[in-house]
Amino acid sequence: MATQDARGILFTHTQHQQGFRLLELPPDLEALLTSKDAPVLELKSPSSALAQAVVDPSALEYVNLCTPTQTYRIRQVQSSNSLHILRPSPGNISQADIKVVAEEDEDSGALKIPDDAVSSIAKCGSTLELHVPPGGFSAVPFLEKSLQLYDPRSGDDEGDIMMDESSDSPVDKGPAEVRRLRDLVCADIPVCATQCEQGWVEICAFIDGKHELTCWRPSARICLNVWKRMMEGAVLQGIDLEKQFLVGDLWKSVLDDDDTPEPFPRACLEAVVRKLCTADERPALADELKWASFEKVECTRWVGETYLAAMAPTASSAIGRSDFLRAWKDCLPESWRGDAALSKLQDGSYRSPDPTTIFFVEPSQRQQSSKAATAGSAPAAKAKPTRNWHELLKNSKRN
């Protein structure tokens, strides 16, 4: 800054402006980047096919900035303020830029450049900011469109984007190849690695490597079938699902002597167990799931919603409330039956066309209904904080 006695700072504008973009960082990301072990950040966007299947076609072109555990949407914000990037420039200013304002040296006649001269090397009419929507980000919608539906009886996977697997490449069925294939799926999903893993667990996705490596998402009918077999096997083998048990023992308990082929892949059972096991005991996807125990409240809710999704997925297939509650209780261990009540289900997870029937509501439809209700009932939105200096001054004068 110039001293009080100085007449001013020489300010010039370079002829060739540089292409800078200003990015406004939230405090948590700034702290992460300035830490000793700063992580590598990723810029991620979905493929065109995946974006068209999941996102509004009018908003396909976007990029997310991802840390290992957090996702931010990058959006451009226009501003009427002039944002200049300055560089100290004594000795680097052309005579054409300063001949009007600079003084000539009395001895040499050369132009004297002030020591505090600066030059504008770039002008930015907009900034980039990082935004996290109120509901956050989820990998579930993208995974549902990326993975093949596992439901041997239905054969209905229309609308899904199939994995591009090459039949010519050799298949390594080891854990390293399983991780590689899962990472390949998540590479096109525009959320961070942690949220990809959470979405994978949420939909009970699995990779069947017994015959060939394929990524699957089981249908609600399959998940319900897996649960029933697990519960029956646990009763026969004396396995307490609320206490720690060996997942291998639970797998053996669901197999009958005449099960040829197996009722479902072991990876499918492990995916359901991983979803339902106590969060503190849930290992990372890359680690083996050896021990598990179920949390009664969460497990009871999941069984009820899964049964409803399998038996009454639409309004046209709605079933009686009393029939649903009876069937839900029959799917639970004896000591859990008293917890089966509609109040235990997630808000918005079901609807009733009339007082006696009920059907399941997909999460995507719940979000749309929630947004519509919010838009209709919300009071007038507050004025957005302005970035324009002349409006800020106007507001201060009014006050």
| Least trusted range by pLDDT, from 178-182, 218-222, 244-248, 319-323 | 178-182
User: Residues 174, 275: one domain?
Assistant: yes
Domain region containing 246: 140-292
112 has a pLDDT exceeding 60? no
Q: What does the pLDDT average to over 179-185?
A: 92
> Within this chain, do residues 274 and 174 fall inside the same structural domain, yes or no?
yes
DSSP symbol at 129? E
User: 115 and 167: one domain?
Assistant: no
358 - beta bridge partners?
319
Q: Which residue has the tokens 């490596």?
A: 213
Whether residues 188 and 89 fall in one domain: no
Beta bridge partners of 123: 84
Count of domains observed in the chain = 3
Banded pLDDT at 163 (limits 50, 70, 90) = very low
Say if 300 falls within a structural domain: no
Both 364 and 321 in one domain: the answer is yes
Write down which residue in 67, 102, 131 finishes a domain: 131
Q: Domain check: are 271 and 362 in the same one?
A: no
Residues 286 and 317 in one domain: no
- With respect to residue 15, please indicate whether it lies within any of the assigned structural domains: yes
Please list, in sequence order, all residues whose beta carbon lies within 8 angstroms of the beta carbon of residue 193, skipping any fewer than 6 positions away. 66, 68, 69, 186
Phi, psi (rounded to 5 degrees) for 162: -75, 150
Does 152 share its domain with 226? Answer: yes
Residue 390 counted as domain residue: no
- For 306-331, what is each residue's pLDDT tens digit? 999 999 999 999 999 999 999 999 99
Taking each helix axis as running N to C, give the angle between helix 193-202 and helix 175-187, from 0 to 180 degrees, rounded to the nearest 10.
Answer: 110
In whole angstroms, what is the distance from residue 119 CA to residue 101 CA?
Answer: 14
Same domain as 83, residue 118 = yes
Mean pLDDT of 245-251: 95
- The length of the chain in residues reads 399
Residue 264 sits in the same domain as residue 163: yes
Residue 115 in any domain: the answer is yes
Residues 150 and 209 placed together within one structural domain of the fold = yes
pLDDT band at 273 (very low <50, low <70, confident <90, very high): very high
- Give the H/E segment covering residue 88: strand 71-88
C-alpha atoms less than 13 angstroms from C-alpha of 79 in its C-beta half-sphere: 21
Per-residue burial over 117-133, b = 16 or more CB atoms within 10 Å of its CB, e = otherwise? bbbbbbebeebbbbeee
Q: Tell me if residue 217 falls in helix, strand or coil.
A: strand
What's the alpha-carbon Rg for the chain, to the nearest Å?
30
Tell me if 144 sits within 8 A of 108, measured CB to CB: no
The verdict on residue 336 lying in a domain is: yes
Q: For 55-64, 99-108, 362-371, which range has the lowest pLDDT when averaged over its residues?
A: 99-108
> In the 8-state DSSP scheme, what is residue 73?
E
Tell which residue, 218, 254, 189, has the closest CA to residue 42: 189
Given a cut of 50, whether residue 200 has pLDDT beyond it is: yes
pLDDT, tens digit (0-9, with 9 covering 90-100), for 20-56: 888 999 999 999 999 999 999 999 998 888 888 887 6
Q: Which two tokens stand for residue 348?
A: 């918005």
In the chain, how long is the greatest CA-to-CA distance?
A: 107
Sequence-separated (6 or more) residues with CB below 8 Å from residue 367: 135
Residue 62 lies in a domain: no
Contact 151, 223 (CB under 8 A): no
Is 382 inside a domain boundary?
no
Three-state SS at 176 = helix
Q: Are 159 and 53 in contact (CB under 8 A)?
A: yes
Q: Is residue 200 within 8 Å of residue 139, measured between CB atoms?
A: yes
The half-sphere exposure of 47 on its side-chain side, counting CA atoms within 13 A, is 13
- Considering the domain architecture, whether residues 285 and 146 belong to the same structural domain is answered as yes
Q: Is residue 178 part of a domain?
A: yes
Tell me how crowded residue 84 is: count the other CB atoms within 10 A of its CB.
16
User: Which residue from 185, 190, 180 is spatially nearest to 66, judged by alpha carbons?
Assistant: 190
Q: Give the pLDDT confidence score for residue 153 in this predicted structure.
A: 72
pLDDT-based confidence at residue 110 (cuts at 50, 70, 90): low
Q: Which residue has the higher pLDDT, 264 or 257?
A: 264
Q: Say yes or no to pLDDT of 71 above 80.
A: yes
> 87, 112, 131: which is the final residue of a domain?
131
Domain boundary among 292, 317, 340: 292
